Chain A
Amino acid sequence: MKVVVGQGSCGIATGAKKTSNEFERIVAEKNLTNVVIDKTGCIGTCYLEPIVDVYNEEGALEARYVKCTPDKVAEIVDEHLIGGKPVEKYVIPTEDEAFLSQQQRIVLRNCGKINPEKIEEYLAVGGYEAARKVITSMTPDQVIEEIKVSGLRGRGGAGFPTWFKWNAIKSNKGAQKYMVCNADEGDPGAFMDRSVLEGDPHSLLEGMIIGGFAAGATEGIIYCRAEYPLAIARLEIAMAQAREKGYLGKNLFGTDFSFDIRIKAGAGAFVCGEETALIASLEGERGMPRLKPPFPAAKGYWKLPTNINNVETYANVAWIIANGGQAFADRGAEKSKGSKVFALAGKIKKGGLVEVPMGMTLREVIYNIGGGIKNDKEFKAVQMGGPSGGCIPAQLIDTPVTYEDINKTGAIVGSGGMIVMDEDTCMVDMARFFLDFTRKESCGKCNYCRIGTKRMLEILERITKGEGKDGDIELLEELAGKIKDGAMCGLGQTAPNPVLTTIRYFRNEYEDHIYNHKCTAKSCKALIHYEITDDCKGCGKCARNCPVNAITGEKKQVHKIDPNVCIKCGKCEDNCAFGAVKRV
Chain B
Amino acid sequence: MNKFRLNIDGKEVYGLPGQTILEVCRENDIFIPTLCYDERTEIYGACGLCMVEWEGSPKLWKACATEIAPNMVIRTNTKRVFESRKTNLELLLSNHKGDCRPPCMLACPAGTDCQGYVGLIANGQYEEAIKLIRDNIPLPGAIGRVCPHPCEKACRRGLVDEPIAIANLKRFAADTDEFGEDPFVPECEPDTGKNVAVIGGGPYGISMAYFLRQMGHDVTIYEAMPKLGGMLRYGIPEYRLPKEVLDEEIAVLEKMGITMVTNTKIGEDISFEAIKRDFDAVCVGIGAWVSTGVRCKGEDADGVIGGIDFLRKVVRNEKIDLGKNVAIVGGGNTAMDACRTAVRLGADKVYNIYRRTKDEMPADMIEIEEAEEEGVIFLNLTNPLEIISDENGHCRQMVLQVMELGEPDASGRRAPVPVEGKTETIDVDTVILAIGQRVNAEGIDGVELTRKGGIVYDKDTFMTAIPGVFAGGDCGNDKISIAVESIGDAKKSCLVVDAYLRGEEIKYEPNYYVTKKDVTPANSSMQKREKTTSLRLYSAMMKSRQSKKQTAVWNADVKTTLNVSSSAMQICMM
Contact = CB atoms under 8 A, between A and B. Distances in A.
Nearest to A492: B48
Interface string B80-95: 1001100110011011
Interface stretch (B58-66, B219-227, B341-349, B465-473): B58-66
A482 B94 contact: no
Contacts of B46: 445-447, 488
A448 B91 contact: yes
A486 interface: yes
Interface stretch (A451-459, A508-516, A547-555): A451-459
Interface in A439-472: 445-448, 451-452, 454-455
B197 interface: no
B47 A482 contact: no
B51 interface: yes
B94 A485 contact: no
A451 B95 contact: yes
User: How extensive is the interface on chain A, given as a class?
Assistant: 10 to 19
A5 B563 CA distance: 71
A376 to B, nearest CB: 44
B290 interface: no
Nearest to B83: A482
Nearest to A288: B46
Given A446-B48, A447-B88, A448-B88, A486 B94 contact: no
B62 A291 contact: yes
Given A291-B43, A446-B47, A482-B83, A454 B88 contact: no
A479 interface: yes
Contacts of B43: 291
Contact of B91 (A455, A485, A488): A455
Range class of the B interface residue count: 20 to 34
Contact of B87 (A291, A293, A445, A479): A479
B45 interface: yes
B51 to A, nearest CB: 6
B47 A447 contact: yes
Contact of B88 (A291, A293, A455, A486): A486
A337 B29 CA distance: 51
Given A482-B84, A486-B87, A448 B48 contact: yes
A447 B45 contact: no
A209 to B, nearest CB: 35
Residue of B65, B67, B83, B87 ringed by the most chain A CB atoms within 10 A: B87
A356 to B, nearest CB: 32
Interface string B84-115: 10011001101100000000000000000000
Interface in A481-498: 482, 485-488
Nearest to A483: B87
B447 to A, nearest CB: 48
A451 B91 contact: yes
Nearest to A290: B45
A183 to B, nearest CB: 28
B453 to A, nearest CB: 50
Contacts of B83: 482
Contacts of B48: 446-448, 486-488
Contacts of A446: 46-48
Interface string B450-481: 00000000000000000000000000000000
Interface string B49-77: 00100000001101001010000000000
B78 to A, nearest CB: 12
B167 to A, nearest CB: 40
Contacts of B59: 485
B53 to A, nearest CB: 10
Contacts of A293: 67
Nearest to B48: A486
A437 to B, nearest CB: 19
Nearest to B88: A447
A486 B95 contact: no
Contacts of B60: 485-486
A23 B544 CA distance: 69
A293 B45 CA distance: 11
A106 to B, nearest CB: 34
Given A445-B46, A446-B47, A446-B48, A486 B92 contact: no
A397 to B, nearest CB: 30
Contacts of A291: 43-45, 62, 65
Given A291-B62, A488-B48, A451 B94 contact: yes
Given A447-B48, A485-B60, A452 B65 contact: no
A448 B88 CA distance: 6
A447 B48 CA distance: 7
Nearest to B96: A451
Contacts of B94: 451, 455
Contacts of B44: 291
A37 to B, nearest CB: 55
Contacts of B47: 446-447
Interface in A324-361: none
Contacts of B62: 291
A485 B82 CA distance: 12
A486 B65 contact: no
A487 to B, nearest CB: 8
A447 B80 CA distance: 17
A478 B202 CA distance: 55
Nearest to B42: A291
A452 B84 contact: no
Contacts of A455: 91, 94
A34 B87 CA distance: 72
Contacts of B95: 451, 454
B484 to A, nearest CB: 38
Contacts of A485: 51, 59-60, 80, 84
A422 B44 CA distance: 44
Contacts of A454: 95
B65 A482 contact: no
A496 to B, nearest CB: 13
A83 to B, nearest CB: 68
Nearest to B80: A485
Given A445-B46, A488-B46, A451 B87 contact: no
A443 to B, nearest CB: 10
Given A451-B91, A451-B92, A455-B94, A488 B84 contact: no
Interface centre among A451, A482, A486 (most CB of B within 10 A): A486
B525 to A, nearest CB: 25
Contacts of A482: 83-84, 87-88
Nearest to A455: B94
Contacts of B84: 482, 485-486
Q: Which of A293, A445, A479 has most B Cβ within 10 Å?
A: A445
Nearest to A484: B59
Contacts of B51: 485-486
B72 to A, nearest CB: 15
Nearest to B49: A447
Nearest to B87: A482
Contact of B92 (A445, A447, A478, A488): A447
A445 B95 CA distance: 14
A173 to B, nearest CB: 19
Interface string B533-561: 00000000000000000000000000000
A488 B94 CA distance: 20
A277 B440 CA distance: 72
Nearest to A448: B48
A487 B51 CA distance: 11
Given A446-B48, A447-B46, A482-B84, 7 more contacts: A291-B43, A447-B47, A447-B92, A448-B48, A482-B87, A485-B84, A488-B46
7 contacts: A291-B62, A446-B47, A447-B48, A447-B92, A451-B95, A454-B95, A486-B84
Closest 4 CB pairs of A and B: A451-B91, A482-B87, A291-B45, A445-B46
Interface of A: 291, 293, 445-448, 451-452, 454-455, 478-479, 482, 485-488
Interface of B: 43-48, 51, 59-60, 62, 65, 67, 80, 83-84, 87-88, 91-92, 94-95
